[in-house]
Structures are given as C-alpha cells and as structure tokens.
Amino acid sequence: MRHILLTVASLGAMALATGAEAAPKAYPDAEAHVLDMAKKAIALRSVEGEGNQTPQVAELFKQRLIEAGWSASDIEIVPYKDTAYLIATWKGSDPSLKPLVVSAHMDVVEAKPADWQRDPFTPVVENGYLFGRGASDTKFEAVLAMESMIQLRKEGFKPKRSLVIAYSGDEETSMATSKLIAEKLKNAELVLNVDGASGTLSEETGKPLYWTWQGAEKTYIDYQIEVTNPGGHSSAPRPDNAIVQLSEVLARIGAYTFKPELNDVTRAYWTEAAKLEADPRKAKAMRDFVANPNDPAALAVLRADPATVGRVSTTCVPTMLSGGHARNALPQRATANINCRIFPGHTREEIMAELEKVAAMPPARFSDVTGDDSTMAPASPMRPDFVAAARKAVTAAWGPVPIIPAQSSGASDSMWYRAVGVPSYGASASMMKDSDEFAHGLNERVSLVNIRPGITYYLSMYKDLASK
C-alpha cells in the first residue's frame, strides 16, 4: 500500500528542487510483456473466499518464468487454504551468499462491479492508464519487477547471489502465506518489497517530485475493553453503570498521548522532509523534533496535522463501541475496540499495560483481539548498500529527485521478514499523482508512464544488490 508522506503545501517547494526527467532506455519486448501480463493478472479475480483465483495468478507467473528460462524445479507454488504463494529462484554463482528476495502479493481486496465505472476484473487501457483491481496494489508492480528480472536474464547477467521472487497470496487479509514465506526465507540477505512506498508526480506538470522508500512499519493491534455489571431496571439507576464506566475509560484514552520517539528511519524522514516543507512553521517543528523529541511546541504542530501525527509516536484510538441490551434496562455489558499503531520497539503486551494504567478503572478488562494477523517488527537498518542502490536506480529511471526514507502506519509483507531478522525495504519503482491514488478504492488505476523507467529502476537495483 502506498502512503502519502508530505502535505500538499510541500509540493511547490519540492518541484523547485527536482531536476529534469531522465530519458531511460527503451526495452520494447519487456515493455510489451509488462502490459500484457499485468492485464492477464488483473483479469484473474484473486479475492479471498469462494472462487479465489490467486493460485491461477501464481500459475500464470510460473509459466511466464519457465518461458523466460527458469527451470520448473526452481519454481514452487504452495497451496494454502483457498490461496497459494509463489517462490521462484534464479540461482547465483556464489552459494555462500545469502539471496536477495523480491517481495509482492498476488491477492487483491474485494471489488463490486456495480460500484465501478468499469468492471474491476476486466483490465482496460484508457488515456494512458491501466484500470482494474490490482493495477496499483499490486499486480502491475509485481509484473514490472518480474519482467525486469526476465530482461536482466535475457541480457546475460550472471548474479553472484541468488535472486528470489516471493509473492504471497493473502497480504490483503490474514497474511498467513506472508508469514510462511518469511519463515522459509529467513536466511535472506535483504528483501526488496515492491509493494511499499513509491514516488509522487506533480499534479500540474506530471514530473517527479520526490520518491520514498519504507524502512519501518508500526504494528497494527486491536484491544477490546469490556465492562460488565449486574444490570437492573432503568428506573433504579446504580453508580456502577457499564456504559458510563466505559465512557470514562474511552475519554481518558482519547485524551492520552504516548511518548514521542525517533528511530534511524524516522529521524532521516523528518530531516529530509523539513528541507522540502513549504510551510516554515511545519519545517521548524520537524527540525526541532529531531533535535528534541520532547519539544512541546514542535509536538503541538506535528500532532495537530493528520499527515504527521502518526509519525510521532504510538497512537491508540477507539474505533468501535457496543453496549446495553434494552432501552429500559441498565447495561449488563459494554465493549469498545481500541485500534493501536505501535511504534517499532514496543510489544503489544507493553502497550496494553500502558492503556490499563491510563484507564485507571479495575472493572474495565482489556484483551488483545488481534490474533496472528500482526506481529512486532523492528525498523530495518539504514543499510548503505541499499540506500546507494536505491538512489542510483531512481536517478537512472526518473532523474535527480529528493529521496526520503519513511515509516509506514500500515502493514505489508515486510513486517514478517523484519520479525525474523531480515531487513526489508518497501521500494516500488512507480510514480503517481496523488489524484491517481485509488488502491483499495473504486476505479483503481496506474499510469503506463511507469513501465519504461520502472524497468530501468529494477535492472539497476538487481545488478547492484545481486552482484556483491
């Protein structure tokens, strides 16, 4: 999933900071295959549940790789419930080197044809865009990364370390296959997750403004708060009313702010974002926050802005509420859901204990209802080899644009790799206008302007990261 990093007010300043667009080399055969394969993948309804065609997407990719020179024995499709995952290996010349993993997912979120202007599973090209569910999240990018690797093999490149394509089958839901893949590939050197971060194009000119890579994710957690009472008739009120007590707890949690924090990724983000921020007040707040994370004036500015509040610390907010059983009865039970996005480095148990302390009401019972769909994961290190390779690849593809590390408040397959000790970096090749952001929404699309520079980007990344 793509995440917008800076405010609209920043764009004018960033436009001035960019140079001319690059003119990447043409790859006619690879470019044609990208569009053809992306359309074929989008046409397969890879949605959780009955009729899930994610296994067919995996088979489509497998056959294309075999056609391009991969051995069938080097490609594994593993069924899992109604879905499947794909692992394809291009063996390197030095078996002592850990592999480079290219990660994406083949499943998509549900889409109802009646709500769309075009059928979501009938790919359509109009006005330079490819429309269809998965166009931006993330079938197009998965195909772009795969076809770039095929092009590299066609050119005769010999990787020193193995290149592994690892595409999950339920990233949009339970992430069970994501977890299985990460466990199987926990010996990897690093992961290039092509479903993560990206670049932004100017609304006015269509030229690149900036590009981001994702080096960390906050942990997604849901806690349930429950208050129970004996109840009784509403004509005889009691002081221990479950709804009232729960309301008091929610008010305290709603007003609470967690300790502000920095890690290497977010420190780099604030530092670079401050240089590009057009609003002097916000830019100063960013710089002051880096200098002193407890600066009250800086925190007031950053926490007041929806674009930056989630980057300062852990956040927890009430999202669902239920209580009572009859209009004329005292409530016997009241519950609420608290959704938290936990800053890397903290456990779910630690945050729940902090919320219990904030609530300061023993009748309120807290429980973790997240299940196994999320896990704590540390931030990936600011590895010089990845950072240098990314800068070189982006410059070759798009020209000299500002590059900003980022921490996401959402979740991706990277979380599972980081949890087993493998650095993972969200680094999509594509650029888009903010107005073209329709991932998970209606009329999802991607600009075909991304194909040629995208191939250039991936060729550069693979060569740099698989050659040493």
Q: What is the pLDDT of residues 387-412, one digit of tens each?
A: 999 999 999 999 999 999 999 988 89
Least confident of 195-199, 239-243, 256-260: 195-199
Interatomic CA distance for residues 241 and 438, integer angstroms:
44
pLDDT of residue 32: 98
pLDDT of residue 11: 36
Work out the pLDDT band at 263, boundaries 50, 70, 90: very high
pLDDT of residue 338: 98
pLDDT of residue 362: 93
Does residue 18 carry a pLDDT above 50? no
pLDDT of residue 439: 60
Least confident of 128-142, 154-168, 317-331, 433-447: 433-447
The percent of residues above 90 in pLDDT, for the chain, comes to: 88
Does residue 162 carry a pLDDT above 90? yes
Q: What is the pLDDT of residues 277-328, one digit of tens each?
A: 999 999 999 999 999 999 999 999 999 999 899 999 999 999 999 999 999 9
For all residues of the chain together, what is the average pLDDT? 93
Does residue 170 carry a pLDDT above 80? yes
Least confident of 1-10, 119-128, 334-343, 414-423: 1-10
Does residue 442 carry a pLDDT above 90? no
Domain ranges of the chain: 8-217+379-466, 219-258+314-342+345-374, 262-302
Q: What is the pLDDT of residues 208-217, one digit of tens each?
A: 999 999 999 9
Q: What is the pLDDT of residues 33-85, one digit of tens each?
A: 999 999 999 999 999 999 999 999 999 999 999 999 999 999 999 999 999 99
Q: What is the pTM of this model?
A: 0.90
CA atoms within 13 A on the CB side of 203: 9
CATH superfamily assigned to domain 8-217+379-466: Zn peptidases (3.40.630.10)
pLDDT of residue 2: 37
Residues forming a β-bridge with 90? 163
Q: What is the pLDDT of residues 90-146, one digit of tens each?
A: 999 999 999 999 999 999 999 889 888 999 999 999 999 999 999 999 999 999 999
Work out the pLDDT band at 438, boundaries 50, 70, 90: low
The percent of residues above 70 in pLDDT, for the chain, comes to: 94
Work out the pLDDT band at 428, boundaries 50, 70, 90: very high
What CATH number has the domain spanning 219-258+314-342+345-374? 3.30.70.360
pLDDT of residue 440: 62
